[in-house]
Each structure stands twice: as structure tokens, then as C-alpha cells.
Amino acid sequence: MNLPFAGEPPALSGVLKSTPEDFVVDEILPYGPDGRGEHDWLIVEKRGVNTAWLAGQLARFAGVREVAVGYAGSKDRQGVTRQAFTVQLPGRKLDWSGLHIDGVRLLDVQRHSRKIQRGSNDGNRFAIVLREIEGDVDSAQEQLSMLALRGAPNYFTEQRFGIDGANLARARALFAGRRLDRNQRSFALSAARSAIFNAVLAARVVDGTWDQIVPGELAMLDKSRAWFKTDIDDVALADRCARGEIHPTGPLWGDKPVPLGEKLAQLEDESSRELDDLKRGLEKERLDTARRALRVLACDLKWSFDAGALHLSFALPAGAYATALIRQVCRAEL
């Protein structure tokens, strides 16, 4: 994806996900199992397995419909990921010891009173190793320090768009009248919104305002989906933004306009004009208009270099991509 960088281009090149153990993800949920109710709460570790596919396998093993299986969000297939699932089993106790799926290990089972809902996770913690590192390590150290301080543009990365942009192609096919199944439709609509968002964010990166509150901005509270229109005369907002309490936002396109300032509305319109067909399609689908933070801040970012490898650990809020952070310092070959 040819998206502009914030600051200098990445100082390093390397290889990402050379083994599953080089990309480890732990889900962060705001709550845990409460020990009662009609749902089994499973902690599952998976390697090379798609989250939605695994949910279907859990439903099959339990003899329930897929709708009875809950999880907070999809995790990377290529890596080692640990996340929670719930399976609704009213009046039943199930022996999960018979579950045998290649690449899947059941770590814990407890009882819980309700289904895990999509989007309910707070974020994810990552432990990542980039191998075959080449480039200027001193410059990379400076870029990593800047990432820890300033964050990174909150781009949607390749995972959202599918292999060779297949999800975006499906979106255009959907808007042209093709019928898609539920999962394909969801991925297609998400890809369309993501492409528009990336175009706007790229323009804000180029003009240097991706991490600033500008006149007419719609700001978002940190670690929240709540957004609000800012007062252009409120100097305190700039300080709150600098401290990471609020962030500027970009569009997740939907069927209703938002109250942007005139200049910012013009920027968003012009930067995404080549995607007007996607805008019209999303409006016809009557998706709710939403906003997304233009900036993502990594929590507790740590790094070290060892024998030609870069080791990274950090946490990101829900919906943010680790690869959006990595691309700022390393051109990573997958």
C-alpha cells in the first residue's frame, strides 16, 4: 500500500512473521468470566487459524448454531493468538477435552453469564520479532522513540483489504448489484470504509495535521468511540491532544453528513474524490456514519535489537493494526 509516512521513511527493512511465534497477540478484555450462567468461556490459543472459522468449529463440536458462539474480534491468522470465546450451553455441561483441532490449544474453560459481543475488547498486546534486519539502527532507535512519544498514523493495513485487495473488489461488485453472503458483505463494506478513511488520513499526514486538532475538527476521546465537534478558539484542546487525551478523526463513511468545519470538509472531500463510487454505495447501504481516530498511541512500547532481529512489545486499542506502527520504522516483508 502506497501510503505516506509520518516523518522520515522507515530506517530498516526486515521480515515479519517468518514463524508464527514471531507474531504473538493476546486479547485484552475489560472483564473476565464470572463463574456462573449458561455460557462456557474458553481461552484458546491458535496458530495459522482464522477466528471466524474456529468459531464455526467450536459450534460444531458443541452441537450448537454458530450464533451461540461469541468472540470480541478477529485476530491475525498468521501468528500465535490467544483470545476468549463463549459458547451458549443452557442446561448442559460439555467435556471440552475431546476438542482436537490442528493449530488450536484450549487453555482454560470457565462458566460465564453472557455472550462475548463483537467489538467488546479493549485492545490487544503484541510481542513481535522482525528478522533479517538491515538498515540504520541508530536512525531506527530515533524513529522508535518518536513512535513511543507521538504515535503513528492509524491506517487500515493490508489485512483489512484482503489478498490483492479482494475485499475492495467485492465492495464494488456488491454496489453493482452482486449478492454476497453475510461474511463477504461485512468484509466488503469494511474495506470500502477503510479505503476512504486511509485516503483522508494520507492527506492529513502530508499536510502534517494527522496528530493535531485543527479548526472544525471532530475529536475523539482516547480509548473511546465517542466524538465531538471542537471549538476552534479552545486552546486547551491542543494541549489535550498533545497529551494523548483526544485525537483528530477521519470518516467511516455512512448515510449522514457530519458537522465538519468548511476547510476540513473540503479536505476530506477532495482527498477521497477518487472513491466517490464507494461513498455512494455505502450511503445506499445506509450504514451509520462514524469516525475513527487518525492517530494511534502504543502503550508501553519497548524494543531491543539482538542478532539481526528487532524485538517489539506494545499494546494497541481495539481496531488498531500493529503493522500500522511497524511500517513507520521497518519495511517488513511478510
Longest dimension (CA), the chain: 63
The pLDDT of residue 232 is 61
Residue 72 domain-assigned (yes or no): yes
Q: How much helix, strand and coil, in percent to the nearest 5, is found in the chain?
A: 35, 30, 40
Q: How confident is the model at residue 162 (pLDDT cuts 50, 70, 90)?
A: confident
Total domains in the chain come to: 3
The CATH number of whichever domain residue 94 belongs to comes to 3.30.2350.20
Residue 6 domain-assigned (yes or no): no
pLDDT for 75-123, tens place per residue?
888 899 999 999 999 999 999 999 999 999 999 999 999 999 998 999 9
Residue 4 domain-assigned (yes or no): no
Tell whether 306 and 203 lie within a shared domain: no
User: What separation, in Å, do the N-terminal and C-terminal C-alpha atoms of the chain show?
Assistant: 13
Answer whether 19's CB lies under 8 Å from 131's CB.
no
The CATH number of whichever domain residue 327 belongs to comes to 3.30.780
Tell whether 202 and 230 lie within a shared domain: yes
Tell whether 291 and 320 lie within a shared domain: no
The pLDDT of residue 224 is 85
Tell whether 142 and 164 lie within a shared domain: no
Tell whether 286 and 328 lie within a shared domain: no
The CATH number of whichever domain residue 191 belongs to comes to 3.30.2340.10
Tell whether 218 and 284 lie within a shared domain: yes
Residue 26 domain-assigned (yes or no): no
Residue 327 domain-assigned (yes or no): yes
Answer whether 69's CB lies under 8 Å from 61's CB.
no
Mean pLDDT of the chain: 94
Given a cut of 80, whether residue 57 has pLDDT beyond it is: yes
List Cβ neighbours of 299 (8 Å cut-off, separation of 6 or more). Answer: 123, 314, 315, 316
The pLDDT of residue 225 is 84
Q: How many residues does the chain have?
A: 334
Q: Which domain holds residue 315?
A: 12-20+123-147+298-333
Given a cut of 80, whether residue 60 has pLDDT beyond it is: yes
Tell whether 83 and 162 lie within a shared domain: no
Tell whether 170 and 279 lie within a shared domain: yes
Share of residues in the chain with pLDDT > 90 (%): 83
The pLDDT of residue 211 is 96
Active site residue 76: yes
**Whole-structure pTM value:** 0.92
pLDDT for 198-207, tens place per residue?
999 999 999 9
- Selected catalytic residue, list 26, 34, 40, 76: 76
Tell whether 101 and 130 lie within a shared domain: no
Tell whether 290 and 302 lie within a shared domain: no
Tell whether 143 and 103 lie within a shared domain: no
The pLDDT of residue 231 is 73
Dist. CA 55–CA 68, nearest whole Å: 9
Q: Closest Cα partner for 87 from 72, 69, 105, 99?
A: 69
C-alpha cell at 301: 512500547
